């Protein structure tokens, strides 16, 4: 029996380096697995056809297998049982001397799914057996070379008692039967060689919905979604999304599905959103189950994009996989780019871009400026689970998007075709991806590769000038990038900057001889100037349209110019961005005024800009809704050189109150116009309408007047869909007095207490409340029967919601929020290290805070570090944050 790693002060966990990569010593041609499912003692038998890797050189080194928390029962080699002295048991594996270049290895071991609270390997969720093997979970199932460049053909037999009638694994079902003892067995065969991280097994008492999809070449694929019986009515949206994704990948990338069956299983206990196991995707229930009555618009959209994402991995991840985990962004960045385009094509492109950029600029930029900053292809890690980050995913997707922008849609498609064709069935690197893009387009992307090796968010400083005599306008762009851990100096990046120029009337000016009114500038130097001639007057630049590169751009716009862009820019993204800049300027001034003890005032021009947008009936509803959102506290914090949490809260609440008060009638009017009753449909137009309506509702309720709260309560009581009832509940929680709110919150729980997804939402809204989210309330929620520390969704709703989305209560000046998070992190680390290492992140950015708040945060973090015996996961994050 090997033990999990425990971190003592004298035994620091090992750092893994990309530069140390070596090809595997042995390959596994076939993997034959046999499971006998039992909650406390599942028996695993594996038969591995192993062969010396011809690329690994001469000689026969010992075979080293990974294995963690396994009870080893027996090992035999070519049919001969080995004695314990024939091999060596390592702290995290097994070393077996080898005498022949090819042999059959048979291993028997036992595992305990019931005790497995890490939700990695084989575990139980509500009595259902399920697996999660990415990144290194397969080693918690059996001894194996658990690395993505060892690809093998898997056959899996599952034996279980009849109370677990559904037994699933990857590929096609090839045999099933019953034993005399009443147990049944099912055998699955996956014809595609795959790394162990894509292995999956499910066993339970499940129901399913079924549909089919006929591929472009005419093959009929069976589609099934499995869930507990009570959720069977919540599978339709995911099924529709799956079929849309299959069609989209055929149309956009020319890629078809390759097995006869595709299965999705919903599980309640899951560390992530979903997992792309070959032919058997496993989903967090929250990311697959939905019905209009129980799921919000954003849940519907999240489900569509995640179903798409995991499906798209079948090519970008499974058919072509990663050589090692440093290449994670090869599959994740590319697949996030693919799912974003899928969502953009099916819904509102502009809204999708605004949402994605908001996420990037708040959370990824913060990560890139913090103690865990890393390039999208990291050079080293201690625990790979910590590197499923916003940088790998979101910045990685931006890097792929930049290639798309540089090559154009057609050039990008040529590149992806070549990439899939050259590397099908292989485990490859980010370098192989870029190379295919270069080769297919006969271009060179040498300098572009800096995006893969350098961390940090580049800053672009833009200045301009106009020569009246010859009508030449010149834009000068300087790039710089702050240092990050281990990287003091940065080389310049190659980045595409999409721009337009606006004339005094807002018209788009012609930029070149081809007559284009929009162009992509290619910045490669530290400083570079771009000239545009033949202009009658100095134009106003619209910079970085569509957010064409993941950078911070600085140009000294006046508030008037920002309002002009808000009204006139033809690029929807930049119209929204101008509104955010305008609000940010006001919020910054207010923070300064607050600190100086001056009277707070909102510029009338900001209010009139809001009024104009609110009353503009020609403007796309979705855009109106987005513009009316003030920048979040997190974004304001990210934009600050030093975070003054109290000033941010005061400034933002003040602006909100003033706008809500000044424009109360306008918000109410727009609310009433939009408050129509029509059957629910999660299409882009209806979603925009509900979003704007509920934005208006939340503004009118900021006034906390009876009139406003009555409107909210009517909506709460009469809503026919969860988007509207959740929006009403949120304003009631945040703005209604206790005597009104308390009963309604309880009423909502009573109505929905048997629905797991709704209860998660209910918990989350309360922990995010600036009013009710006080620590006492959060503690009460943790004692509520609806809470479960072993369920990551519940933890994310309550503790994660508090730390990440309740800016005000989390940053209370006494530091109680930080101490609370530290306590919970320590408790969780014993159950689920992946979750504790994520939950600690909000208290790792102490260096960016001004005043004593940063010091209090550091004290809480130090207490975590000093408590000893941390998991590898938590140790890495905490130790890197205290340097």
Catalytic residues: 310
Nearer to ligand BES, 342 or 699 (CB): 342
Nearest residue to 624 via CA among 585, 657, 671, 561: 671
Q: How far is the CB of 446 from Zn ion (least distance, A)?
A: 28
Q: Out of ligand BES, Zn ion, none, which partner does residue 273 contact, by CB within 5 to 8 A per kind?
A: ligand BES
- Residue 690, token pair as written in the block: 């509900």
Nearer to ligand BES, 304 or 368 (CB): 304
CA of residue 158 relative to chain centroid, distance: 32
Q: How far is the CB of 328 from Zn ion (least distance, A)?
A: 9
Give residues 250-289 in contact with ligand BES (rule: CB under 6 A).
272-276
Q: What span, in angstroms and rounded, lies between the C-alpha atoms of 793 and 286? A: 8
Number of shown-chain residues binding ligand BES (CB under 6 A): 18
Judge contact between 362 and 370, C-beta under 8 A.
no
> 207-231 burial, b if ≥16 CB within 10 A, otherwise e?
ebbeeebeeeeeeebebbbbbbeeb
Q: How far is the CB of 238 from Zn ion (least distance, A)?
A: 16
Q: Which stretch binds ligand BES (CB under 6 A): 131-139, 155-163, 319-327, 764-772?
A: 131-139
Q: How far is the CB of 336 from ligand BES (least distance, A)?
A: 6
- Give 372-433 as a DSSP string: T---SS-SEES-GGGG--HIIIIIHHHHHHHHHHHHHHHHHHHHHHHHHHHHTT-EE-HHHH
8-state DSSP, 149:
T
Q: Out of Zn ion, ligand BES, none, which partner does residue 134 contact, by CB within 5 to 8 A per kind?
A: ligand BES
- Give 753-821 as a DSSP string: TT-HHHHHHHHHHHHT-TTT-SHHHHHHHHHSTT--TT-HHHHIIIIIIIIII-HHHHT-TTSHHHHHH
Nearer to ligand BES, 272 or 521 (CB): 272
- With a CB cutoff of 8 Å and minimum separation 6, the contacts of 233 are 291
Angle at alpha carbon of residue 16, lines to 12 and 20, rounded to 5° = 135
- With a CB cutoff of 8 Å and minimum separation 6, the contacts of 455 are 368, 373, 374, 375, 391, 484, 485, 487
- Judged by CB under 6 A, does residue 135 bind ligand BES? yes
Nearer to ligand BES, 132 or 416 (CB): 132
Q: Out of ligand BES, Zn ion, none, which partner does residue 66 contact, by CB within 5 to 8 A per kind?
A: none
- Judged by CB under 6 A, does residue 313 bind ligand BES? yes
Nearer to Zn ion, 198 or 702 (CB): 198
Nearer to Zn ion, 116 or 335 (CB): 335
Per the listing, tokens 């959060």 go with 778
- Judged by CB under 6 A, does residue 309 bind ligand BES? yes
Q: How far is the CB of 303 from Zn ion (least distance, A)?
A: 15
Site string for Zn ion, 143-172 (x = CB under 5 A): ------------------------------
Judge contact between 318 and 259, C-beta under 8 A.
no
- Judged by CB under 6 A, does residue 336 bind ligand BES? yes
Nearer to Zn ion, 197 or 846 (CB): 197
Q: Out of ligand BES, Zn ion, none, which partner does residue 388 contact, by CB within 5 to 8 A per kind?
A: ligand BES
Q: Which stretch binds ligand BES (CB under 6 A): 127-135, 210-218, 443-451, 780-788?
A: 127-135
- Residue 148: what are its φ and ψ, rounded to 5°? -70, -15
Q: How far is the CB of 309 from ligand BES (least distance, A)?
A: 4
Give residues 339-358 in contact with ligand BES (rule: CB under 6 A).
339
Which residue in the shown chain puts its C-beta closest to ligand BES?
A: 273
- Give 155-201 as a DSSP string: EEEEEE-TT--EEEESSEEEEEEE-TTS-EEEEEE--S-B-GGG--E
Q: Out of ligand BES, Zn ion, none, which partner does residue 82 contact, by CB within 5 to 8 A per kind?
A: none
Q: How far is the CB of 417 from Zn ion (least distance, A)?
A: 21
Q: Beta strand pairing status for 121-125 and 128-132? A: antiparallel
Q: Which of 388, 451, 716, 849 binds ligand BES (CB under 6 A)?
A: 388
Residue 389's Cβ-side half-sphere holds a number of Cα atoms within 13 Å equal to 29
Give residues 308-347 in contact with Zn ion (rule: CB under 5 A).
332, 335
Give me the residues that bind ligand BES (CB under 6 A), please: 132, 134-135, 272-276, 305-306, 309-310, 313, 332, 336, 339, 388, 393
Give me the residues that bind Zn ion (CB under 5 A), please: 332, 335
């Amino acid at each position: 029996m090997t033990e999990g790693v425990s971190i003592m002060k004298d035994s620091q966990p090992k750092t893994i380096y990309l530069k140390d990569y070596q090809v595997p010593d042995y390959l596994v041609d076939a993997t034959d697995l046999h499971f006998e499912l039992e909650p406390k003692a599942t028996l695993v038998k594996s038969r591995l056809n192993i062969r010396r890797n011809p690329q690994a050189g001469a000689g026969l080194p010992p075979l080293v297998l990974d294995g963690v928390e396994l009870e080893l029962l027996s090992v035999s080699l070519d049919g001969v049982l080995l004695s314990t002295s024939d091999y060596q048991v390592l702290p995290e594996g097994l070393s077996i001397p080898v005498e022949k270049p090819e042999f059959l290895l048979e291993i028997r071991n036992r595992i305990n799914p019931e005790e497995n609270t890490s939700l990695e390997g084989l575990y139980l969720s509500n009595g259902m057996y399920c697996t999660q093997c990415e990144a290194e979970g397969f080693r918690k199932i059996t001894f194996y070379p658990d690395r993505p460049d060892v690809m093998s053909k898997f056959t899996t037999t599952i034996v279980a008692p009849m109370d677990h009638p559904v037994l699933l694994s990857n590929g096609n079902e090839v045999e099933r039967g019953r034993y005399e003892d009443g147990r049944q067995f099912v055998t699955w065969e996956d014809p595609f060689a795959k790394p162990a991280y894509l292995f999956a097994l499910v066993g339970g008492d499940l129901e399913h919905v079924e549909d089919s999809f006929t591929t472009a070449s005419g093959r009929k694929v069976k589609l099934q979604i499995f869930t507990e019986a009570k959720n069977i009515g919540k599978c339709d949206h995911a099924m529709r999304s799956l079929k849309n994704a299959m069609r989209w990948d055929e149309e956009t990338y020319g890629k078809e599905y390759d097995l006869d069956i595709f299965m999705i299983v919903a599980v309640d206990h899951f560390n992530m959103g979903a997992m792309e196991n070959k032919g058997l995707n496993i989903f967090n229930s929250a990311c697959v189950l939905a019905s209009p009555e129980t799921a919000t618009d954003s849940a519907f959209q999240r489900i569509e994009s995640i179903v798409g994402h995991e499906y798209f991995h079948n090519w970008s991840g499974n058919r072509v996989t990663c050589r090692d985990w440093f290449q994670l962004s090869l599959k994740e960045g590319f697949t996030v780019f693919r799912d974003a385009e899928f969502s953009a094509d099916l819904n509102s492109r502009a809204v999708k871009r605004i949402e994605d950029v908001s996420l990037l600029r708040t959370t990824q930029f913060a990560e890139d400026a913090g103690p865990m900053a890393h390039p999208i292809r990291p050079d080293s890690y201690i625990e790979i689970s910590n590197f499923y980050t916003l940088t790998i995913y979101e910045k990685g997707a931006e890097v792929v998007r930049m290639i798309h922008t540089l090559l154009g849609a057609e050039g990008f498609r040529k590149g992806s075709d070549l990439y899939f064709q050259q590397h099908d069935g292989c485990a490859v690197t980010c370098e192989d991806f870029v190379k295919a893009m270069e080769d297919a387009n006969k271009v060179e992307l040498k300098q572009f590769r800096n995006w893969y090796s350098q961390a940090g968010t580049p800053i672009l400083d833009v200045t301009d000038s106009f020569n009246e005599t010859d009508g030449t306008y010149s834009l000068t762009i300087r790039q710089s990038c702050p240092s990050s851990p281990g990287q003091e100096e940065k080389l310049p990046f190659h980045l595409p900057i999409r721009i337009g120029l606006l004339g005094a009337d807002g018209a788009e000016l012609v930029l070149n001889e081809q007559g284009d009114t929009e162009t992509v500038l290619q910045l490669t130097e530290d400083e570079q100037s771009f000239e545009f001639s033949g202009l009658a007057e100095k134009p106003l630049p619209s910079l970085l349209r569509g957010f064409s590169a993941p950078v911070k751009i600085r140009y000294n716009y006046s508030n008037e110019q920002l309002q002009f862009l808000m009204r006139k820019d033809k690029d929807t993204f930049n119209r929204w961005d101008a509104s955010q800049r305008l609000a940010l300027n006001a919020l910054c001034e207010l923070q300064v005024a607050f600190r100086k003890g001056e009277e707070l005032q909102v510029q009338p021009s900001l209010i009139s800009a809001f009024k104009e947008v609110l009353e503009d009936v020609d403007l796309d509803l979705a855009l109106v809704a987005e513009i009316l959102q003030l920048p979040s506290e997190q974004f304001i914090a990210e934009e600050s050189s030093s975070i003054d949490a109290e000033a941010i809260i005061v400034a933002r609440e003040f602006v909100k109150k003033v706008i809500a008060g000044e424009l109360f009638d306008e918000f109410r009017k727009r609310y009433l116009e939009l408050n129509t009753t029509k059957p629910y449909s999660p299409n882009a137009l209806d979603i925009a309408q509900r979003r704007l309506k509920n934005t208006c509702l939340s503004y009118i309720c900021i006034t906390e007047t009876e009139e406003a709260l009555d409107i909210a309560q009517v909506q709460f009581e009469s809503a026919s869909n969860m988007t509207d009832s959740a929006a009403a509940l949120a304003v009631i929680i945040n703005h209604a007095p206790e005597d009104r709110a308390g009963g309604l919150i309880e009423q909502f729980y009573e109505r929905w207490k048997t629905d797991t997804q709704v209860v998660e939402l209910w918990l989350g809204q309360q922990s995010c409340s600036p009013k009710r989210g006080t620590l006492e309330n959060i503690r009460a929620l943790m004692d509520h029967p609806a809470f479960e520390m072993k369920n990551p969704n519940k933890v994310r709703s309550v503790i994660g919601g508090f730390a990440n989305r309740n800016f005000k209560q989390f940053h209370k000046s006494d530091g109680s929020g930080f101490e609370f998070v530290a306590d919970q992190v320590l408790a969780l680390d014993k159950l689920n290290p992946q979750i504790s290492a994520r939950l600690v992140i909000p208290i790792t950015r102490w260096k960016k805070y001004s005043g004593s708040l940063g010091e209090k945060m550091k004290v809480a973090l130090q207490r975590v570090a000093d408590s000893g015996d941390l998991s590898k996961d938590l140790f890495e994050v905490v130790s890197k944050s205290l340097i």
